[in-house]
Structure 1
Amino acid sequence: MSDFFSHSTAIVETEQIGSGTRIWAYAHVMKEVQIGSNCNIGDHSFIESGVVVGNNVTIKNGNMLFEGLVLEDGVFVGPHVFFTNDLHPRSPRLPQAKMRYKSHDWLYKTLVKRGASLGAGAVILADTTIGEYALVGAGCVVSHDVPAYALVVGNPARQIGWVCECGITLKEDGQTGVCPSCSRRYHIKDQKISPL
């Protein structure tokens, strides 16, 4: 174990936690979770075995992170975000479903790429990828992949624009997007975006 802080009411079963990480009240981190350095895990969050959390990740209060989820470096997870990992869920204790759950064939992975942000109360369905620096609006239900730098809102999630690496919505002028906050510029063409 490295140098990290864990609140006295947190349950931390994993030994794979990077230095400078802080785990707050009533959080539960199961065995075989990997958490990088300089992360913040909010109160009442649950992280199941098999989850991978990169460096500099913020997980706000009340989150549920289930097996198969990978959060890359710099991801922000707002309060009460839910991730699923099974597209056809049944109780593994149901006699008719026991055979299906003997292997991990039911498990679908979800990837949230570097710098992406997920707004409060978002629901991220299994087998999706959230692109780098994408911004998922509060209350969104994401059932398909989200492109890098995309701004998505609603249920189901739909793209309404692009965001800068700093998180601000880009002002678009033809094939150029400009951040009104930090002045970064991007090339936008055919639903693809790249920094200039």
Structure 2
Amino acid sequence: MTNFQQKIQIENNLEYIRSKLFTRNGIYIHPTAEVSDRALIGVGTRIWNNAQIREDVIIGNNVIISKDVYIDIGVKIGHRVKIQNGVSVYRGVEIDDDVFLGPHMTFTNDLYPRAFIGEFTLYKTKICHGASIGAHATIICGHNIGCYAMIGAGSVVTKDIPDFALAYGNPAIIQGWVSRSGGKLHFDDDGIAECPITKEKYQILSQDKIILLEA
């Protein structure tokens, strides 16, 4: 096969994949993805290679479901969420709008797993609006990640993380605070900090709580 023929074949293959990606209402589904007919998927969402979307899943608009992602039965995912390669979102996990889930981060839903026990107590986990979880982090079930919180790569979360907290380590602890845009916050003697990116102002109220003063 000549180089020209190889180029034509590649272009034909890409055109075939693009034609298979498009479905009604502006939803893109890769031909290798497995999507249940009982899943509800919002406009502009993209579902990529080898992803599996189970029954009764609800996914919002403009969500990115990357390669090898698994979404379990009944999971709810908000709008504009980005789920990177190799993430499994198990039953009992709820994802709010604008959440980022880094590559191969891990959720759980059973605190006492045994292969030989069929029934188990489901412990729920919620990832709140705008939060980011770094690559290979693990979220132990039954804990919530607050709005705009940021979890460092490789961390193990064993307790609730408050809004705007920067937490990392094993176990993850609060190491600082970040703005909605992800800029690190440094508080003055009056407990006021300015986002280095947007200039929004924040106030620290206690050891584990800060608030946005102005949008």
The two structures have a TM-score, normalised by structure 1, of 0.92
CA shift at 1:3, angstroms?
3.4
- The letter of the residue matching 2:73 is S
State whether residues 50 and 69 of structure 1, in contact with CA within 8 Å, keep that contact through their aligned partners in structure 2. no
- The letter of the residue matching 1:123 is T
Higher helix share: 2
Unpaired stretches in structure 1, ≥5 consecutive residues = none
State whether residues 56 and 74 of structure 1, in contact with CA within 8 Å, keep that contact through their aligned partners in structure 2. yes
2:27 is the counterpart of 1:12: no
Tell me whether 2-11 or 40-49 shows the greater mean CA deviation.
2-11
- Of structures 1 and 2, the larger Rg is shown by 2
Residue 70 of structure 2, aligned match among 38, 46, 53 = 46
Q: Distance in 1 between matches of 2:57 and 2:143?
A: 20
Question: Which residue in the other structure is 1:108 paired with?
Answer: 123
Misfit runs of 4+, over 3 Å? none
State whether residues 117 and 133 of structure 1, in contact with CA within 8 Å, keep that contact through their aligned partners in structure 2. yes
The two structures have a TM-score, normalised by structure 2, of 0.84
Q: Distance in 2 between matches of 1:2 and 1:158?
A: 43
Q: Distance in 2 between matches of 1:120 and 1:34?
A: 24
Deviations 1:121-147 (A, max 9, x none): 110010000000000000010010000
Question: Which residue in the other structure is 1:63 paired with?
Answer: 87
- The letter of the residue matching 2:205 is K
- The letter of the residue matching 1:115 is G
CA shift at 1:20, angstroms?
0.4
Q: Distance in 2 between matches of 1:2 and 1:113?
A: 27
Deviations 1:68-109 (A, max 9, x none): 000000100010011000111112xx2xx24xx1xxx61000
2:199 is the counterpart of 1:193: no
**Greater relative contact order: 1 or 2 (C-alpha under 8 angstroms, separation 6 or more)?**
1
- The letter of the residue matching 1:163 is V
What is the DSSP-based 3-state SS (H/G/I as helix, E as strand, rest coil) of the residue aligned with 1:25?
Answer: coil
Residue 192 of structure 2, aligned match among 155, 164, 176 = 176
Unpaired stretches in structure 2, ≥5 consecutive residues = 1-23
Tell me whether 134-143 or 185-194 shows the greater mean CA deviation.
185-194
